[in-house]
């Protein structure tokens, strides 16, 4: 196929292109990935035909084709910066921002193939080779996801596992039962997630054991001490606040394991960003699960079949348990410090953009909310559900603030950074006002 190109093009790029194709084909054959091999051959054939036609037309009309960010274009840049590490790094960052990281990586492979003696090429080759070589540990993720789903399904049986809220003075039950899964679920899910990070990553068993014991102690405290809250009304309000609080503690436990010895501000912030990505990936999985569940039960209803409670719980509680572990497996690379996690691909690149678009809307909504606080000032004092809604809104806005902040200031130009900073500052002030108001209402 290379002989379809003009002679000048073959001389300049033929050998590295052929070497790259041989290397990729050899890797696919070695691993037995026939689907990948067929896809490689078909895509390469189409690309070669298209680019060969373009090169012949360009030579015929004496013009230089604009390939944008193609591999050939990046190969020319890499050759130009063969002795300039800083310029090569800047070219890579530009390729990442343009969404053309794979084209740059292929160009580096081609440059390395034609000049093995260049140490800069070799360094970049192995850097991108290992960065692209991340494989999700499905052999651990899937069994642990199933285990988590089955545990939550088992605990969701309200006939067997429910906390009774009893009036301490009369001994009668005056309030609805609290499902045990709402209290034990966060600790169970966090334990399974940390176990996945350990077995698929750095295997820090002592750290894992300490965190799991801490989560178990806090959960046991809530579980056995809620009757001391007082009347049945106070017990109900206490237990209503605990699922969110225990969920946050479980998330903090995952953070303690993921951070390990990396306690600097950059790694802590990177963990927050990855947590947001995990929530969004989990939300997407949950939406798909919801659609599948709705279609399944719709078919059953159309046939006049009412699914038993065990099947419903398997879809709801069991599905949620599986989604949590699989979302972590998709979003996080076990054993890698948060700051070194991949942030330049997939949802990691899309999430900040979408959240920055939501920033003006969040400012508008929160401003209107603060404006109406005086008219409904005593709402959270008299109704705990209103206070819970306030706290949920605050957590959502804080997550938005985490998502809009770039990991490095150089990710945005000066003008965008100025306006983003103003929006963040305004939203932070509004959050503080609502936060103080909610704190007073506790």
pLDDT digit of tens for each residue in the chain (442 aa)?
A: 555 555 555 555 556 566 666 666 666 666 555 555 565 556 556 555 555 555 555 555 444 444 444 666 777 788 888 888 888 888 887 776 665 666 787 788 888 777 777 888 788 777 776 555 556 788 899 999 999 999 999 999 888 888 888 777 666 666 667 889 999 999 999 999 999 999 988 788 999 999 999 999 999 999 888 888 778 878 888 888 888 889 999 999 999 999 887 888 888 888 888 888 888 888 888 888 888 888 878 877 877 778 888 888 888 899 999 999 998 988 888 888 888 777 765 566 677 777 888 888 888 888 888 888 887 777 777 777 777 777 788 888 888 888 888 776 666 777 788 888 888 899 888 888 888 887 877 7
Alpha helices (H) along 332-413: 347-371, 379-382, 384-404
Quote the pLDDT of residue 66: 42
Quote the pLDDT of residue 192: 96
Non-local CB neighbours of 305 within 8 Å, separated by 6+ positions: none
Quote the pLDDT of residue 214: 95
Angle at 359 (CA atoms; ends 98, 420), nearest 5 degrees: 65
Task: Check the CA dihedral 350-340-278-432 and report its sign.
Answer: negative
Determine the distance from the C-alpha atom of residue 341 to the mean position of all C-alpha atoms in its chain, rounded to a whole number.
11
With contact defined as beta carbons under 8 Å apart, do 332 and 274 qualify? yes
Determine the distance from the C-alpha atom of residue 12 to the mean position of all C-alpha atoms in its chain, rounded to a whole number.
41
Give the separation between CA 371 and CA 332, rounded to whole angstroms. Answer: 40
CA-to-CA dists, residue 60 to 56, 64, 350, angstroms: 6, 11, 41
The pair of three-digit structure tokens given for residue 340, joined into one six-digit string: 């070194």
| Residue 46: Cβ within 10 Å count | 10
- For residue 65, report the phi and psi dihedrals to the nearest 5 degrees: -65, 140
Quote the pLDDT of residue 196: 94
Nearest to 404 by CA among 357, 340, 367: 357
For residue 163, what are the β-bridge partners?
178
With contact defined as beta carbons under 8 Å apart, do 186 and 250 qualify? yes
Non-local CB neighbours of 66 within 8 Å, separated by 6+ positions: none
- HSE (CB half, 13 Å, CA atoms) of 229? 22
Give the separation between CA 269 and CA 275, rounded to whole angstroms. Answer: 10
With contact defined as beta carbons under 8 Å apart, do 88 and 52 qualify? no
């Amino acid at each position: 196929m290379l002989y379809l190109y003009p002679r000048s093009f073959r001389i300049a790029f033929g050998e590295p292109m052929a070497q790259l194709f041989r290397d990729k084909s050899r890797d696919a054959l070695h691993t037995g990935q026939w689907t990948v091999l067929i896809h490689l051959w078909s895509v390469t054939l189409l690309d070669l035909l298209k680019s060969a036609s373009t090169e012949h037309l360009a030579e015929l009309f004496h013009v230089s084709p604009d390939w944008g960010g193609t591999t050939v274009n990046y190969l020319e840049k890499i050759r130009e910066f063969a002795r300039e590490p800083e310029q090569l790094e800047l070219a890579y960052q530009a390729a990442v921002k343009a969404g053309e990281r794979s084209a740059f990586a292929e160009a580096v492979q081609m440059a390395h193939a034609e000049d093995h003696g260049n140490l800069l090429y070799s360094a970049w080759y192995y850097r991108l080779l290992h960065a692209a070589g991340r494989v999700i540990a499905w052999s651990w993720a899937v069994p642990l996801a199933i285990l988590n789903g089955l545990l939550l399904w088992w605990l969701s049986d309200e006939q067997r596992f429910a906390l009774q809220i009893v009036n301490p003075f009369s001994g009668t039950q005056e309030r609805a039962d609290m499902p045990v899964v709402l209290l034990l679920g966060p600790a169970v899910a966090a334990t399974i997630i940390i176990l996945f990070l350990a077995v698929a990553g750095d295997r820090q068993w002592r750290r894992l054991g300490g965190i799991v014991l801490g989560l178990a102690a806090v959960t046991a405290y809530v579980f056995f001490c809620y009757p001391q809250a007082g009347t049945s009304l106070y017990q109900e309000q206490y237990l209503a606040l605990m699922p969110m609080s225990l969920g946050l503690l479980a998330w903090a436990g995952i953070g303690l394991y993921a951070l390990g010895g990396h306690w600097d501000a950059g790694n802590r912030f990177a963990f927050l960003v990855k947590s947001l990505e995990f929530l969004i990936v989990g939300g997407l999985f949950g939406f798909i699960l919801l659609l599948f569940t709705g279609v399944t039960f719709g078919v059953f209803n159309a046939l006049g079949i009412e699914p038993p409670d065990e099947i419903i719980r398997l879809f709801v509680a069991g599905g949620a348990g599986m989604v949590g572990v699989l979302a972590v497996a998709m979003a996080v690379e076990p054993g890698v410090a948060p700051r070194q996690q991949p942030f330049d691909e997939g949802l990691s690149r899309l999430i900040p953009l979408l959240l920055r678009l939501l920033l003006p809307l969040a400012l508008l909504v929160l401003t209107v909310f603060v404006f109406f606080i005086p008219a409904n000032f005593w709402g959270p004092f008299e109704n705990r559900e209103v206070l819970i809604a306030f706290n949920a809104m605050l957590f959502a806005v804080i997550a938005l603030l985490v998502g809009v902040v770039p990991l490095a200031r150089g990710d945005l130009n000066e003008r965008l950074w100025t306006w983003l900073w103003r929006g963040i500052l305004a939203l932070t002030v509004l959050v503080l006002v609502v936060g103080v108001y909610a704190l007073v209402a506790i």
